[in-house]
Structure 1
Amino acid sequence: MTDTNLSWTSRLSLAIGAFFGILGDRDFAAGVQRLRSGAAPAAAAPVATPAPAQAPAPTLKEATPEAALQLLGLLQRDARFIDFIEEDIANYSDADIGAAARLVHDGCRTTLREHFTIRPVREEAEGSRVTIAEGFDASTIRLTGNVVGKAPFNGSISHRGWRATDVRLPKLTQSHDTSVLAPAEVEL
């Protein structure tokens, strides 16, 4: 399209841009005023080369607590997890704590396997030597130790990482209060 043959949407976009330009920039507003009055436009100032655009800041999303509370409730139901964590274990023997930990571990493991499919981020065995290429995903690989320079990096896997590949939490009714992790029990 030529400058004199702008479509209606192009003209609307230009008008909106000009409107905000006039409100936000005194010099731009004066130039528009000169053009409207028929005066010659002021000599154009040299156009500065714009700085390279920086990557936009990541947007933060707020997680709702319902799924976390639901998982915590499932861990309490199946493994008595909260009971174990909230118990003051200072007066128990190591053998008693170990026996309780074994029960909590078994229940937690059962719950996780029932409601999640969890796979390692890296398939190599811990201790394996690997090369991390340039452009690696920093959300899946955390470099530790003496990190100097830029990729490729060579190192050993100290932890394979975990990723949830499937989540199967039970559906909840609208009236379900997820903040109640375990109801109080009253024996009659």
Structure 2
Amino acid sequence: MTEQPSISFFARFWLAFVCFWRIWFDQAFAQAVLPVREADKAGTLPTATPPAELPAVAEQPKATPVAAPTPVAPPPPEREHAPALQLLSMLQREGRFIDFLQEDVAAFPDADVGAAARIVHEGCRKVVRQYLSLEPVLPQTEGDRVNVPAGFDAQRIRLTGNVAGQPPYNGALKHHGWVTTAVKFPSTSPAMDPRVLAPAEVELS
């Protein structure tokens, strides 16, 4: 049943005034209103149907709060650069590379420096050949004329001299470059401190 709209006080006042006088002068209207009056006295006058109760809304389950991921702390510099430190350690072990660089060679004659350089060269070359695979960037021999095409890789080819205009270029190969094709470093134990490039040596007597 459609709920009847509510009537304001002034509307009800005006309706009572009109009905009052119409009942006096209109017998048919009075005859029609009489059953309503009798029903109201008997308490059988229908009342407005209360609005239907809205169905209860099922309570939505509360979302389980998701814990923010714990930020991962960056590794310390010695762990982040452990492979580079490992290579430096191997160069020191095989070729005394760090000892050579830390030495003030200006105080020694050229013959002594040359003899020391041979030892360093032999050991460092051994490490590089054992753990790294190297190839020239360009296969030509130094001094050959080479063509540099458009869209060349600037990381692999560096232009020097009178660089003007747009590629392709043509020039003399001054150095063929090097590129690493394989790295074969051995794994190291996390318990080892990568900062220790060479332990101190103590000879007991």
What SS class does the counterpart of residue 112 from structure 1 fall into? helix
1:169 & 1:102 partners in 2: Cα distance?
24
Q: CA deviation at 1:64?
A: 3.0
Residue of structure 1 equivalent to 2:62: none
Aligned: 1:116 with 2:132: yes
Equivalent of 2:173, from 157, 161, 164? Answer: 157
Q: Pick from 77, 80, 98 the counterpart of residue 82 of structure 1.
A: 98
Q: Report the counterpart of residue 132 of structure 1 in structure 2.
A: 148
Which of 112, 116, 136 pairs up with 1:100? Answer: 116
SS of structure 1 residue aligned to 2:146: strand
SS at match of 1:164: strand
Partner of 2:88: 72
Residues of 1 paired with 2:112 and 2:120: CA distance? 12
- Structure 2 distance, partners of 1:89, 1:78, is 20
Shift of 1:93: 1.2
| Aligned-partner residue type, residue 105 of structure 1 | H
Give the root-mean-square deviation of aligned CA atoms: 1.5
TM-score of the aligned structures, taking structure 2 as reference length: 0.60
Q: C-alpha separation between the residues in 1 aligned to 2:80 and 2:117?
A: 30
Equivalent residues in 2 for 1:1-188 (5 A)?
A: 64-188=80-204
Q: Give 1:131 deviation, angstroms.
A: 1.1
Q: Alpha-carbon deviation of 1:138?
A: 0.6
Equivalent residue letter for 2:176? R
Report the structure number with the largest CA radius of gyration: 2
**1:186 Cα offset (Å):** 0.8
Residue identity matched to 1:169: F
- Cross-structure match for 2:57: none
User: Which consecutive segments of 4 or more residues in structure 1 shift more than 4 A?
Assistant: none
The alpha carbon displacement at 1:65 in A equals 1.2
Paired positions, count: 127
Query: How far apart, in 2, do the equivalents of 1:67 and 1:160 lie?
Result: 26
Q: Could you give the per-residue CA deviations for residues 137-188 of structure 1, whole angstroms, max 9, x where no partner exists?
A: 1110001000001000010110000001011111001111111000011111
User: In structure 2, how many angstroms separate the alpha carbons of the residues matched to 1:111 and 1:140?
Assistant: 24
CA displacement at 1:90 relative to structure 2: 2.8
CA distance in 2, matches of 1:165, 1:135: 22
Q: CA deviation at 1:91?
A: 2.5
Q: Which residue of 1 aligns with 2:13?
A: none
The CA distance in 2 between the partners of 1:78 and 1:180, in whole Å, is: 15
Give the counterpart letter for 2:195 in structure 1.
S
